[in-house]
Structure 1
Amino acid sequence: MNPILNQIGTVFIPVSHIEKARDWYCDLLGLPADGEILFGHLYVLPMNGTGIVLDSRIYAEDHVYRVPAFHLNTNDIEKAYEFMKSKQVNITSQIEHSQWFHFKDPDGNQLMICQC
């Protein structure tokens, strides 16, 4: 039996300032920003499913995601797009094929929202 599971546990996102990143991501996802910052550089977002860890120790301007490594889900891509516009998020594409769009976080990480 293979000891490696076919599941993703956590995705790490490099961020420049852990407190600001925590607040931005929690606001975007409608989560309370009251969790503990671990070891001075990690914040575990309380996600459903695969986890996201913000990490300021791995941040460097040339080490941000230039293409999305994952996507956040939505049930309504149009509402998600309008929501992101209302938050003045840096949206970097239109809605593609009625399914997804790209945006950047404040550190320049390219991310995606996709309708499931």
Structure 2
Amino acid sequence: MTTSPIENRIGQVFIPVRDMARSARWYSTLLGLPEAEPTHSATIYDLPTSGETRLALDANRPEFDTSGPPRFFFWTSDMAVTVSFLRDLGVKFDSEVQDIGSVMFLQFRDPDGNPLMVCQRTVT
């Protein structure tokens, strides 16, 4: 096995956005967070998270491609309530809830078209 100076843990996930104000409001609502002010000349918006991995909205490159699968997922403890909440937010769903045995998951899009996913453990 090769020794690497790179640590095996994620520090921060950046989500590209085009309209920082709209995206900050949407993600704050999605995650039940109070709105704050963006930083770095209003191009970065840090979203507080539980755990070590941080999450930030990034408006530094407004031209980006939203194709491909979700790059990460959010946890939920109640998929039915989550689906209802997301419908109330008017999100675009990319899938129905799928149960693969150990988790149920749902894929959806943010206002910029970024693919997102929410998962619920079904096996403890």
- Tell me the TM-score normalised to structure 2 length: 0.84
* Residue of structure 2 aligned with 1:7, choices 6, 9, 18: 9
Q: Give matches, 1:1-116, under 5 Å.
A: 2-49=4-51, 50-61=53-64, 63-64=65-66, 66-97=68-99, 99-116=104-121
For the aligned residue pairs, the C-alpha RMSD in angstroms reads: 1.7
- Tell me the TM-score normalised to structure 1 length: 0.89
For structure 1, the residue ranges without an aligned partner over 5 or more in a row are none
Taking the aligned partners of 2:91 and 2:16, their CA distance within structure 1 comes to 18
Taking a change above 3 Å as real, the CA distance of residues 8 and 45 of structure 1, as seen in their structure-2 partners, is same
For structure 2, the residue ranges without an aligned partner over 5 or more in a row are none
How far does the alpha carbon of each residue in 1:66-92 deviate from its partner, in whole angstroms, 9 at most, with x for none? 310000110111211111112211122
Contact 1:16 1:59 in 2 (8 A): yes
How far does the alpha carbon of each residue in 1:6-58 deviate from its partner, in whole angstroms, 9 at most, with x for none? 11011111100111111110011100012443332111111112211101112
Structure number, greater radius of gyration: 2
Runs of 4+ in 1 over 3 A off after TM superposition: none
Counting aligned pairs with the same residue, the percent is 36
Contact 1:94 1:101 in 2 (8 A): yes
Taking the aligned partners of 2:68 and 2:63, their CA distance within structure 1 comes to 13
Taking the aligned partners of 1:52 and 1:46, their CA distance within structure 2 comes to 7
